[in-house]
Amino acid sequence: MLRFLGLIPARYASTRFPGKPLAILGGKPVIQRVYEQVVGVLDEAYVATDDERIEAAVKAFGGKVVMTSVCHKSGTDRCYEAYDKVGEGFDVVVNVQGDEPFIQPSQLQAVKQCFDNPGTQIATLVKPFTAENGWEALANVNSPKVVVDKDMNALYFSRSIIPFQRNVAQEDWLEHHVYYKHIGLYAYRAEVLKAITALPQSSLELAESLEQLRWLENGFKIKVGVTDVETIGIDTPQDLERAEAFLQALSAE
């Protein structure tokens, strides 16, 4: 049986929303809501942070936290340092973004199941776009798209709409092809996490500002799990308002 370690990278200095892990959502800090969604589904869970305020908040609600360097350029790098400190005995590291308070157990299970295949190196999650989402959602550059092969391995990630349908009107694209929205949840075998964090940034990564392209460009395979569950990530104060409304709607059901 593989052992799964959940790591939740959380930093205070967000450009678009400073301090967002400590923003209050439904009476709790956002980071607490993320942690509570993860703990119990995976074998162990830690928040990985570089900020003492976040560390104090996690300890205050009884969570586990590991302090990491302020110099990391990505959540993946932060996860590797945290794994190096607390990951002994774990086979797979699951990187759950600290701004995803509605991540669901079913989504974590979908990523875990990718490792039923012993050849899986890295896994991530996608959600099909639907016609109801509309063109605006598909064209949103902040919502990366994923193209997969017949075995559900990622071929490419892009902020552009891929594939381009040459002989179909744009308003009909969603009716003629299944487009996948990337959900920023990753899992890596421990030895693969070590290897990918040692790689220099790649040209594709720099072009799209998507670190997973570095892994593909260097020959690593990314297995893709599928979910139909919609989540609300929090990148801005406006996202927090939408998340609050979503939470209230859930409570009213």
Residues 110 and 55 in one domain: no
Residues 140 and 50 in one domain: no
Q: Strand, helix or coil at 203?
A: helix
pLDDT band at 161 (very low <50, low <70, confident <90, very high): very high
**What is the chain's percent helix, strand, coil content, to nearest 5?**
35, 25, 40
DSSP-assigned letter for residue 153: B
What pLDDT, on a 0 to 100 scale, did the predictor assign at position 15?
Answer: 80
Q: Which residue has the tokens 């040209």?
A: 203
Cβ pair 214, 114 in contact under 8 A? no
Structure tokens at 31: 């980071």
Q: What is the DSSP string of 83-119?
A: HHHH-TT-SEEEEE-TT-TT--HHHHHHHHHGGGSTT
Would 250 be classed as within a structural domain? no
- The total domain count for the chain is 2
Q: Specify the CATH number for the domain of residue 164.
A: 3.90.550.10
Domain hosting 220: range is: 104-230
Q: What is the mean pLDDT of residues 109-129?
A: 97
Percent of the chain with pLDDT over 90: 89
Residue of 23, 170, 7, 131 whose CA lies nearest to 76: 7
Write out pLDDT tens, residues 27-70. Answer: 999 999 999 999 999 999 999 999 999 999 999 999 999 999 99
Write out pLDDT tens, residues 193-233. Answer: 999 999 999 999 999 999 999 999 999 999 999 999 988 88
Residues 92 and 159 in one domain: no
Cβ pair 219, 120 in contact under 8 A? no
Residues 13 and 64 in one domain: yes
Mean pLDDT, the chain, whole residue set: 95
Would 246 be classed as within a structural domain? no
Q: Strand, helix or coil at 136?
A: helix
Report the alpha-carbon angle 220-225-227, nearest 5: 150
Residues 117 and 149 in one domain: yes
Structure tokens at 51: 């900020």
Interhelix angle 75-86/190-197, nearest 10 degrees? 130
